[in-house]
Structure 1
Amino acid sequence: MTITRPSYGGRMPSGSGDLAVEGHGIAPVPEDRRYGGPARLFTVWFAPNLTVSGVFTGTVGVTLGLGFWTALAAVVLGTVLGAVPAAYLGTWGGLTGTGQLPLSRLAFGSGVVLPGVMQWLSSIAWDALIGLFGGEALAQVLGWPFWAGALAVLLLQGVVGVFGYEVLHRLQVVMTFVLAAAFLAIAVGLLSDVSLPTAGSVHGADQTGAFWLTAAVALSLSVSWTPYASDFSRYLPRSTSRPRMFWYALLGVVLSFLCVQVIGLWGAKVLTDQTAAGLHHLLGGGALGTLGLLAVAAAAVCSNAMNDYSGSLALQTAGVRLPRPVAAGAAAVLGFLLVLWMHAADTTARFQNVLLFVGYWIPAFFAIVLVDFRARAREREGAPIDVAAEFARPVPWWPAVLAFVVAFGAAVPFMDTSLYVGPVARALHGADLAYYVAFVVALGVYWPLRAGRRAGERSRP
């Protein structure tokens, strides 16, 4: 794949407030077309996570038998551990002007097709996970059948994804305030008569297993943004402060996820009907119930527009020469079909299974691109990165792909889902350590292969 193909370029926003359709795809953004400041990374990562799916995910710890404070500790741990990779990789956007999956070609070479397809499929899965609740909410408010509500949500998010980078950033600024106010009202209305579930029902090894499974579920939410990270910072100037980029992004991801998951933890005993209708009933109907449903639908649009945008870049990275706006629209269409499938049966089980499985590949991906990027920095000996020169260097595909596949395979025995519980997870009383194992194994496999490749390059005459 040649990342500079004309089909991967296109119209770029001229600056803040340019809301015309962005045709630009995975080609690096030239430095003279960069604009904006690091503070926009807070809002672009805050608003998309204020979703009811995060609220329902937050119930997991208490459902597993943990007390509120123990479950909260697991949620904080998992959320922060998952957010750090996303915030760190986001700083690469300003350095390179390149989206995350396109940039991973530096490590994967032609093997980038594998994570490219995985990210594209993951973005569609997230479309369905979030769109499921959004479609239910809008359908109930308007008195429509479910499919019509889901179609409206997916159409709205598809339009935002088609318009692209600047429209996404502007939308998330507005929705940060709108959704924060709406979810605050939901929290007050939902939890005003609900006491904290302080006492847990599990102890000893069962409590430890439940703690680590709860942390894994929380981690799966925040780490899911890792393959998207630099997609939403690629227009920032190279001179942008990387520490400020990191902290704005980290705070955006962590604070938003903690807000919605704490609501879920606190209200776990009453959030037994994990549907938009159940939330509406718990809020007592009326104006507050309608506000809650509208917030759910609006949050789905905000979050899924990000999925469609990054999905379009991932599809181009995999070698599909569709213009970026067309690829974004295609992701929304496929997300709609997956929403209908999820809604046709046991929604809760399918939601939990998809949530876990779409993220197990990400830690290995992060380990591989991290090792390669740091190795390239050492090889440049302090010189600024020249993206065109880096892409021009030949890269064998097999070291990264081998590490990626081996790491995923090594993680399988540590997985704990309702579809499959690995033997190690079972022995550990349900603790899911698959994410950590995948990261460590990918590091252990890829690092020596990357070092050996460099040694071989130096030995050539």
Structure 2
Amino acid sequence: MIETRSIDYVPDDERHGKVSHQGPFWFVGNFQPFTLALGFVGPSLGLSLWWTIVAGIAGIAFGTLFMAFHATQGPVLGLPQMIQSRAQFGYRGVLLPLIGTLFTFVGFNVVDVVIIKSGLQSIFGWNPVVVAVVITVVAALVAIFGHDLLHKTFRVLFWVSLPLWIVLTCGVLFGGVTGTVSTPGGFTFVAFLVQFSVAASYNITYAPYVSDYSRYLPRNTKPSAIIASVFVGASASPAWLIPLGAWMATYLGASDALAGINQTGNDTFSYLGSVLAVVSTLVLVATMGLNAYSGMLTVVTGLDSLKSVKPTRNLRVMTIVVLAVAWLVMSLLLSNATTALNTTLLIMLYLLAPWTAVNLTDYFFVRRGHYAIADLFTPNGIYGAWSWRGLVAFSAGVLAEIPFVDLPFFVGPAAEALGEVDIAFIVGLLVSGVVYLAVTRSLDVSSELAFIEASRDVADPASAQDISTTVAEEDNR
């Protein structure tokens, strides 16, 4: 059935998720050609195979930590990620980070369509326009049916993909695939840092998604269990595919992920590459559905922040359709502009890193997981329309990043001094987290307890205004 929930609270009697599903879900989310292509970065900069593997795995481990800790918010609050962010930025102030998340979701889908249609055209000669339309329709349908179908689709693809990748990997490890070292490489600190940063940023961009897919878990889900499940799932597949991609780049000179999969697979076993290319495409399409679903939640959150809307099923469907048309048109118009698209995604990372720091600092160190759910749905609640603390910390992080950015049209002085290595997102994480801790020292979170208690069992956000007003009046008396 088509999911009815969107940005509204998921009550306890609808919590049917399982922690055991989180690992395979995020494993498959990264078990696709985009991840494999991360392994091309190091060799392209002269980094050796083994140093690429070390830098890639270290970066993935670092970035996944931030992503995994966001997953704990879903079971506790039963809300999408960006609705919870209103506690840090305010009911309307959350529009600022929403810009970054929306462009990330849409941007990823544009890049995914470009990868798929160009890859399938080169392998099978399929019409790229037809491919783009078909995969867009499929991804949109998966997103429209929603949370449960996304989880089931990823579980099926997990079991379909796993044996194929195992066979291909065995072919590489045990000599079934032969190749000559086209780019032996060595070690340079600059290349190592670039590979580390690219890998670390990869899973940080998943941070705005995570609680969208954990909010149906029971409220009493152990934080350690879900953190471990998400971390292992989201890091294991990149830790597998990045070394494989690095091997393809080093020994085969691969620069196209789908083409590399096709060549390596067919060298291992007849038609394995062709089958794996199709299955990898299906995984990428499912991931597009993931982006579309979270993109819908972002758009509806933004609309609701401007003017309160009723989160109906029709609104969900219409929003996904509009997003699908948008990314399809852009992917057709910008078919040869993947560099520009990747630059756009990098800029969005500059916005997401400070947001992640503010959100996690608030959740684990300031409010410690205690929020008045009803007040997240009204500008007149305890979190207000604009929360200066979150906005200041976020802005400080973004400003601190500027000297460290490395973009085609601008290289910051600090990045230039580092040999054009982009560590801006790490700077943004540190600065925003520290500034938020500093500005919240004057925040009296104990004054929020009455509101939290009053809204503890709220299942209907429409009643948020009444509850918040009632509690405020009682507090004044």
1:153 equivalent in alignment to 2:138:
no
CA contact (8 A) 1:153 1:300 kept: no
CA contact (8 A) 1:50 1:180 kept: no
State the distance in 2 between where 1:72 and 1:277 align: 21
Which segments of 5 or more consecutive residues in structure 1 lack a partner in the other structure?
1-19
Classify 1:273/1:366 alpha carbon distance in 2 versus 1 (closer, same or farther; 3 Å). closer
Give me the TM-score of the superposition, normalised by structure 2. Answer: 0.83
For residue 93 of structure 1, report the CA deviation from its aligned partner.
0.4
CA contact (8 A) 1:213 1:431 kept: yes
2:117 to 135, 148, 164: 135
User: Which residue in 1 is equivalent to 2:178?
Assistant: 193
State the distance in 2 between where 1:421 and 1:343 align: 26
1:31 to 9, 12, 26: 12
For residue 427 of structure 1, report the CA deviation from its aligned partner.
0.8
Classify 1:159/1:358 alpha carbon distance in 2 versus 1 (closer, same or farther; 3 Å). same
Which AA in structure 2 matches 1:407? Answer: G
1:325 to 312, 317, 330: 317
User: Which residue in 2 is equivalent to 1:8?
Assistant: none
Classify 1:41/1:308 alpha carbon distance in 2 versus 1 (closer, same or farther; 3 Å). same
State the distance in 1 between where 2:182 and 2:195 align: 16
User: Which residue in 2 is equivalent to 1:93?
Assistant: 74
State the distance in 2 between where 1:143 and 1:29 align: 46
For residue 33 of structure 1, report the CA deviation from its aligned partner.
1.3
User: Which residue in 2 is equivalent to 1:84?
Assistant: 65
User: Which residue in 2 is equivalent to 1:174?
Assistant: 156
Per the alignment, in what secondary structure is the counterpart of residue 50 of structure 1?
A: coil
1:227 to 200, 208, 225: 208
For residue 331 of structure 1, report the CA deviation from its aligned partner.
2.1
Per the alignment, in what secondary structure is the counterpart of residue 323 of structure 1?
A: helix
Which AA in structure 1 matches 2:164? Answer: A
Per the alignment, in what secondary structure is the counterpart of residue 383 of structure 2?
A: coil
Classify 1:326/1:106 alpha carbon distance in 2 versus 1 (closer, same or farther; 3 Å). same
CA contact (8 A) 2:36 2:257 kept: no
User: Which residue in 2 is equivalent to 1:122?
Assistant: 104
Classify 1:200/1:390 alpha carbon distance in 2 versus 1 (closer, same or farther; 3 Å). same
State the distance in 1 between where 2:416 and 2:42 align: 17
1:237 to 218, 237, 249: 218
State the distance in 1 between where 2:53 and 2:229 align: 23
Which AA in structure 2 matches 1:296? Answer: S
Moved more, 329-338 or 368-377: 368-377
Classify 1:249/1:397 alpha carbon distance in 2 versus 1 (closer, same or farther; 3 Å). same
2:425 to 429, 432, 435: 435
User: Which residue in 2 is equivalent to 1:292?
Assistant: 276
1:400 equivalent in alignment to 2:390:
yes
For residue 401 of structure 1, report the CA deviation from its aligned partner.
2.0
For residue 333 of structure 1, report the CA deviation from its aligned partner.
2.0
State the distance in 1 between where 2:344 and 2:243 align: 22
Per the alignment, in what secondary structure is the counterpart of residue 281 of structure 2?
A: helix
Which segments of 5 or more consecutive residues in structure 2 lack a partner in the other structure?
449-474
State the distance in 2 between where 1:231 and 1:90 align: 8
CA contact (8 A) 1:125 1:358 kept: no
For residue 267 of structure 1, report the CA deviation from its aligned partner.
1.3
Per the alignment, in what secondary structure is the counterpart of residue 194 of structure 1?
A: coil
Give the percent of matched residue pairs that are identical in Structure 1 and Structure 2.
26
Give me the TM-score of the superposition, normalised by structure 1. Answer: 0.86
Q: CA RMSD in A?
A: 2.7
For each residue in 1:15-72, what CA deviation from the matched residue of structure 2 results, as whole angstroms up to 9, or x when unmatched?
xxxxx10121101111121112211111111112111121112111121122222221
Classify 1:38/1:457 alpha carbon distance in 2 versus 1 (closer, same or farther; 3 Å). closer
For residue 236 of structure 1, report the CA deviation from its aligned partner.
0.4
For residue 177 of structure 1, report the CA deviation from its aligned partner.
1.5
Q: How does 1:404-419 map to 2 (within 5 A)?
A: 404-419=394-409
Moved more, 297-306 or 445-454: 445-454
State the distance in 2 between where 1:96 and 1:173 align: 25
- Paired positions, count: 431
Which AA in structure 1 matches 2:414? Answer: V
User: Which residue in 1 is equivalent to 2:94?
Assistant: 112
Classify 1:78/1:169 alpha carbon distance in 2 versus 1 (closer, same or farther; 3 Å). same
CA contact (8 A) 1:68 1:196 kept: no
Classify 1:217/1:117 alpha carbon distance in 2 versus 1 (closer, same or farther; 3 Å). same
Classify 1:333/1:157 alpha carbon distance in 2 versus 1 (closer, same or farther; 3 Å). same
State the distance in 2 between where 1:440 and 1:51 align: 30
CA contact (8 A) 2:389 2:440 kept: yes
Which AA in structure 2 matches 1:338? Answer: M
1:350 equivalent in alignment to 2:340:
yes
Per the alignment, in what secondary structure is the counterpart of residue 25 of structure 1?
A: coil
CA contact (8 A) 2:405 2:424 kept: yes
State the distance in 2 between where 1:61 and 1:410 align: 27
1:387 equivalent in alignment to 2:368:
no
For each residue in 1:75-109, what CA deviation from the matched residue of structure 2 results, as whole angstroms up to 9, or x when unmatched?
11110111111111101100010111111111111
For each residue in 1:359-383, what CA deviation from the matched residue of structure 2 results, as whole angstroms up to 9, or x when unmatched?
22222111111222235535x9xxx
CA contact (8 A) 1:75 1:258 kept: yes
Per the alignment, in what secondary structure is the counterpart of residue 271 of structure 2?
A: helix
Classify 1:297/1:106 alpha carbon distance in 2 versus 1 (closer, same or farther; 3 Å). same
Which AA in structure 1 matches 2:219? Answer: R
Classify 1:182/1:421 alpha carbon distance in 2 versus 1 (closer, same or farther; 3 Å). farther
